[in-house]
Structures are given as structure tokens and as C-alpha cells.
């Protein structure tokens, strides 16, 4: 092994995780070509600097960490296209369905029970991922930037040149949609906290 | 002071005032915005006041909290 090439078995392990990386890259960018680029750059960076992998942490954790940086790079590179994505593509406002004209709930929100029961389960994580995947493009991107990349709201506004109000409107829609999807796909579909 | 009126009449400073009567729709909006910005004290107090008498919005608040915890758990799940 030289300083600049990964040992064969590490290379194989990295390649094996490519599909996982691609899944999250797609969830974030909502664009297959950009997602492929981000993943290729991630894999390349990992193969070029295997000594940066401290071994102690999991390989996947290390790669996801690199991927997150590459995703921010992609967002910067394509910010013009991202910021002009029309909000109209992003579907109806759920508010009118949820609230009567006097501003009251049409239907009471359901009791989701003890969060620990749901959150402990891998199946719940899969439902959550599927629900994030179902978010309309721009809502999904913004939600991912906020919740998965953990960017601050003002950073997101700066990167995409959108106003804070626009950001809040989009995240408001995303969070309400996510809630509906979790209700339908988990909390409504099963006894609270139970397996599907 | 009748319910539904603002504590002060200056509508230009509306956002800085405590709303005595907030609708569930408004309460929901503020609850969700609190995930992405620091909500001014007046709005937080209005929200708290509203929730005191609204079980629906208390339940919604627990759902939002669960979603926040779910996101955190998911970040770990995806990277772990």
C-alpha cells in the first residue's frame, strides 16, 4: 500500500457502499446526474485518502461524512438551477385540508403514543425515509438540507438565494406532508408503536 | 380587553405583540416555524397560551417533537 491508494479490500468495501451513498445523494439533490457526481467524488476522495479513515468509526459513517461535504459542493455548483425551481411544482398547501375556515382543526391530530416505541424500530426509519423520498422536489431538498445536512436556515437561504419567508413556507409544507405520510404509513397503519 | 384584540393597537408592530386569541392554524404555523427559526418571545407566549386551552394543538406539538427526534435518529441511522 502506498500513501495514495487504498488496499484492495477497503476499495471493495467502499464500492459496496456506493448504492447506499447514492440513495442519500438522490434524496438530497433530487437529480440523478448530480447525485452520481457527488457519490463518485466521495468514493474517489475515500480511495485517495484511505489513511484518513480512522478505522475506529464505521466505514459507512466515514463515507457519509465525506458525502455530506460533496453534497454541499453540488448544491453550491447548481445553486442557480436549484433556487429557480418553481414553488408551484411543489403541490397543494395542506393547510386548507387540515383547517376549517375559522382556523380550527377539521379533525384532531392523532395520538402518536410513546415516541421511543416507534423510534427504536428500523422499520420506522424505513417508513420515514420513504416519506422523505415522497416529498416534492424542492420541499425534499430543503427538508434534507435542514434535517439531514443540518444546515442553518440562514445558510440555506444564502446558498440558494431564497428569502427566509420562502424557506419557512416550503419547510412548513414539507413538515405537514411528512406528518401526513407518517400518520398514513406508520401510526395509522399499525397499533401505536407496533411492528407493521 | 375583548379576546381577539391585540394588546396594543399599533398594527405595524403586530409581530411584536402577544395575540390573546390565536387560531389553531396560526398556532400550527408558529409551531412549525419554531423548527427553523428562533420565534420571538411574544409569539412563543401566544402559542403557549393557546395550547393551554387546546388539546389538539398540544397533540400536534407532541407530533412535531416526535418528528424532530425521528430526524435525529435517522441521521444516526443513515451514518451508522
Q: Tens digits of per-residue pLDDT, A137-146?
A: 999 999 999 9
Q: Domain ranges in chain B?
A: 11-79
A103 to chain B: which residues are within 8 Å by CB?
A: 23-26
pLDDT digits (tens, 9 = 90+) for B8-54: 444 445 555 677 789 999 999 999 999 999 999 999 999 999 999 99
Flag the least confident range among A120-134, A178-192, B5-19, B29-43.
B5-19
Whether chain B has a CB inside 8 Å of the CB on A130: the answer is no
pLDDT given at position A86: 55
B4: left (phi over 0), alpha (psi -120 to 50) or beta: left
Residues B74 and A129: beta-carbon distance below 8 Å: yes
In this prediction, residue A58 carries a pLDDT of 87
For chain A, what is the mean pLDDT?
Answer: 88
Confidence of residue B6 (pLDDT cuts 50, 70, 90): very low
| A164 close to A157: Cβ distance less than 8 angstroms | yes
Instruction: Look at A18-27, A37-46, B2-11 and tell me which has the smallest mean pLDDT.
Output: B2-11
Name the DSSP class of B53: T
When CB atoms are compared, the residue of B63, B65, B75 closest to A148 is: B75
Domain boundaries, chain A: 8-77, 86-187
The shortest C-alpha distance from B68 to chain A (Å) reads 8
Q: At a CB cut-off of 8 Å and minimum separation 6, what does A157 contact?
A: A163, A164, A167
Confidence of residue A2 (pLDDT cuts 50, 70, 90): very low
Count Cα neighbours of A94 within 13 Å in the Cβ-side half-sphere. 19
Instruction: Assess whether pLDDT exceeds 50 at residue A196.
Output: no
Q: How far is the C-alpha of A161 from the C-alpha of B30, rounded, in Å? A: 23
Top CATH class of A86-187 equals mainly alpha
Q: Does A134 touch chain B (CB under 8 A)?
A: no
- Chain A neighbours among B 20-49 (CB < 8 Å)? 23-26, 28-29, 32-33, 35-37
Query: B64 CB near a chain A CB, below 8 Å?
Result: yes
Of the candidates A42, A15, A14, the one whose C-alpha atom is nearest the C-alpha of residue A28 is: A42
From A103, A115, A129, residue closest to B23, measured CB to CB: A103
How far is residue A72's CA from residue A60's CA, in Å, rounded to a whole number? Answer: 18
Contact A129 B74 (CB under 8 A): yes
Mean pLDDT check: name the lowest of A66-70, A84-88, A94-98, A119-123: A84-88
Write down the CATH number for the domain with range A8-77.
1.10.1740
User: Mutation test of the interface with chain B: which of A61, A93, A103, choosing the one with the most B Cβ atoms within 10 A?
Assistant: A103
- Dist. CA B73–CA A46, nearest whole Å: 25
Q: Does A133 touch chain B (CB under 8 A)?
A: no
| Cα angle: B45, vertex B49, B53; to 5 degrees | 160
Amino acid at each position: 500500500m502506498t500513501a495514495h491508494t487504498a488496499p484492495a479490500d477497503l476499495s471493495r468495501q467502499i464500492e459496496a457502499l456506493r448504492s447506499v451513498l447514492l440513495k442519500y445523494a438522490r434524496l438530497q439533490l433530487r437529480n440523478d446526474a448530480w447525485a452520481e457526481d457527488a457519490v463518485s467524488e466521495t468514493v474517489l476522495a475515500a480511495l485517495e485518502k484511505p489513511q484518513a479513515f480512522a478505522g475506529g468509526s464505521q466505514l459507512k459513517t466515514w463515507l457519509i461524512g465525506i458525502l455530506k461535504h460533496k453534497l454541499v459542493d453540488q448544491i453550491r455548483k447548481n445553486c442557480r438551477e436549484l433556487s429557480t425551481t418553481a414553488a408551484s411544482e411543489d403541490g397543494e398547501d395542506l393547510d386548507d385540508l387540515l383547517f376549517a375556515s375559522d382556523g380550527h382543526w377539521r379533525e384532531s391530530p392523532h395520538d402518536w403514543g410513546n415516541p421511543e416505541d416507534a423510534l427504536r424500530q428500523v422499520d420506522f426509519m424505513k417508513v420515514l425515509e420513504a416519506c422523505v423520498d415522497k416529498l416534492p422536489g424542492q420541499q425534499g431538498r430543503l427538508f434534507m438540507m435542514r434535517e439531514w445536512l443540518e444546515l442553518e436556515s440562514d445558510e440555506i437561504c444564502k446558498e440558494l438565494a431564497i428569502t427566509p419567508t420562502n424557506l419557512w413556507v416550503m419547510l412548513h409544507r414539507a413538515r405537514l406532508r411528512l406528518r401526513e405520510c407518517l400518520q398514513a404509513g406508520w401510526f395509522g397503519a399499525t397499533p401505536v408503536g407496533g411492528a407493521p | 380587553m375583548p379576546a381577539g384584540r391585540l394588546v396594543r393597537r399599533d398594527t405595524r408592530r403586530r409581530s411584536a405583540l402577544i395575540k390573546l386569541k390565536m387560531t389553531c392554524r396560526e398556532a400550527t404555523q408558529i409551531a412549525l416555524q419554531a423548527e427553523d427559526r428562533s420565534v420571538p418571545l411574544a409569539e412563543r407566549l401566544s402559542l403557549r397560551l393557546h395550547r393551554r386551552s387546546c388539546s389538539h394543538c398540544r397533540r400536534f406539538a407532541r407530533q412535531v417533537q416526535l418528528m424532530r427526534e425521528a430526524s435525529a435518529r435517522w441521521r444516526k441511522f443513515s451514518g451508522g
